[in-house]
Amino acid sequence: MYTIPPQISSALQTSNWSPLNILLTSLVLLSIYVILLVVYRLFFHPLAKLPGPLLARCSTLWQNYHYLRGTWHDDIRILHEIYGPVVRISHYEISFVDAAALKRVYGHVNPCKKVVQASRKLKSDDVVQYMGLA
């Protein structure tokens, strides 16, 4: 069994970690995480180059707000009038009104790979074929 070295054990016993220090440290770490997440979603995410409202590109707050207001469809239409045929409506979701893009993504003969249906059990051959390794 592993034992804690005496230097670490004595440091842990004499530390000044009060509940207030723990709370402040947790808040600082959480703030750093949120800032880094927003920077990633705005500048380094694969969808970062697509236009859309700032809050929609960072989180789902914009989307949820408009769902609750009940004006979701009108707001999407207005976004397309402002930003064009392709709009980022969430940090992980886009909306498009381009007929060519619709056919490319959802058409019968298309270059886009689709998710293997979850209703059937996957076999290793399905995964290899889906990933293009075969």
The answer to whether residues 83 and 113 belong to one domain is no
Confidence of residue 1 (pLDDT cuts 50, 70, 90): low
- Determine the structural domain holding residue 117 and report its residue range: 109-134
Residue pair 133/125 in contact by the 8 Å Cβ criterion: no
pLDDT reported for residue 15: 64
Whether residue 126 lies inside any domain: the answer is yes
Q: Looking at the whole model, is its pTM more than 0.75?
A: no
The answer to whether residues 91 and 119 belong to one domain is no
pLDDT, one tens digit per residue, over 29-57 is: 999 999 999 999 999 998 888 899 999 99
Whether residue 7 lies inside any domain: the answer is no
Quick one: what percent of the chain has pLDDT higher than 70?
71
Closest C-alpha among 54, 57, 56 to residue 41: 57
Whether residue 31 lies inside any domain: the answer is yes
The answer to whether residues 120 and 70 belong to one domain is no
The answer to whether residues 61 and 126 belong to one domain is no
The answer to whether residues 27 and 55 belong to one domain is yes
By the 10 Å C-beta count (0-12 exposed, 13-18 middle, 19+ buried), 91 is classed as buried
Q: CB neighbours (10 Å) of residue 50?
A: 17
The domain total for the chain is 2
Segment 105-109 shows an average pLDDT of 66
Whether residue 10 lies inside any domain: the answer is no
